[in-house]
Amino acid sequence: MAKPQQISLAITGASGIAYATRLLTLLNNNGYMVHLMISDAARVVFSSEVNINIPKSPEKISSLLSKELELDSDLIEVWSKDNWFSPLASGSSAPKQMVICPCSTGSLSAIATGASNNLIERAADVVLKEKGTLIVVPRETPYSTIHLENMLKLTTAGATILPASPGFYHQPERIEQLIDFIVGRILDHLGIDIALEPRWGYSTNTPH
């Protein structure tokens, strides 16, 4: 039996947890193995935005999210931020694709400077040095010069900066459609074909 494709997903302390949970759910439901990392600040945002209290134990996190989001627990591997023995910390074993969603400006800064002070930062550094796919989803407004310079550094290093800025041309009627707009773009850049929202030029409302 073939091993499932593996993707790393880091959730950091910016607003927009709904983007992360939707992405995690879609990847899980479509048979992808997700290596999940959640920062301490993200645990606070989980509680305030989606009323999920994330425990510190990786095993308890996996069990909780599997129950709350109705996921296949066999396709989720949760890693502690201090677990330097994780395969994500080494270029010889880390998945070649990683998404940081949402990405706080603090995490953005640390990754742009190669700080590698925790597993999230190290995993991102590994993907960049191995010429893999790193997708960074910042959710901040407005952006300062420092934020923009860090985004430029990461783009130059090979990352994709994909701000959580949903479009409205598909005439969304529910907040879930705005979430799916961004998640769909993330999936596009991962090379995963899961249709979520009508694409520009293909809507039945498009004038001829």
Q: Is residue 140 part of a domain?
A: yes
CA distances from 135 to 73, 109, 186 (A): 24, 15, 7
pLDDT score, position 86: 97
Q: Is residue 207 part of a domain?
A: no
Q: Is residue 45 part of a domain?
A: yes
Q: Is residue 116 part of a domain?
A: yes
- Are 115 and 121 spatial neighbours (Cβ–Cβ below 8 Å)? yes
Say which CATH number the domain at 79 has: 3.40.50.1950
pLDDT digits (tens, 9 = 90+) for 149-189: 999 999 999 999 999 999 998 899 999 999 999 999 999 99
Q: Is residue 208 part of a domain?
A: no
Q: Is residue 96 part of a domain?
A: yes
* Number of domains, the chain: 1
How much is the mean pLDDT over the chain? 94
Q: Is residue 196 part of a domain?
A: no
Tell me the two tokens of residue 42.
């993200």
pLDDT score, position 195: 80
pLDDT score, position 203: 60
- Are 38 and 54 spatial neighbours (Cβ–Cβ below 8 Å)? yes
Domain containing 116 equals 6-190
pLDDT score, position 196: 83
What are the residues whose beta carbons fall under 8 Å from the beta carbon of 36, sequence distance 6 or more?
8, 9, 10, 11, 24, 61, 62, 65, 76, 77, 78, 79
Give the residue from 33, 168, 10 showing the smallest Cα distance to 89.
10
Q: How many CB atoms lie within 10 A of CB 89?
A: 17
- Are 11 and 37 spatial neighbours (Cβ–Cβ below 8 Å)? yes
Q: Which residues of 119-139 are buried (b: 16+ CB within 10 A; e: fewer)?
A: bbbbbbbbbbeeebbbbbbbb
Alpha carbon 108 to its chain centroid, in Å, reads: 13
Residue 180, Cβ density class (10 Å: 0-12 exposed, 13-18 middle, ≥19 buried): buried
Residue 200 has pLDDT above 80, yes or no: no
pLDDT score, position 84: 96
Q: Is residue 202 part of a domain?
A: no
pLDDT digits (tens, 9 = 90+) for 117-130: 999 999 999 999 99
Residues of the chain with pLDDT > 70, as a percent, come to 96
What are the residues whose beta carbons fall under 8 Å from the beta carbon of 131, sequence distance 6 or more?
158
Give the residue from 92, 144, 125, 115 showing the smallest Cα distance to 10.
125
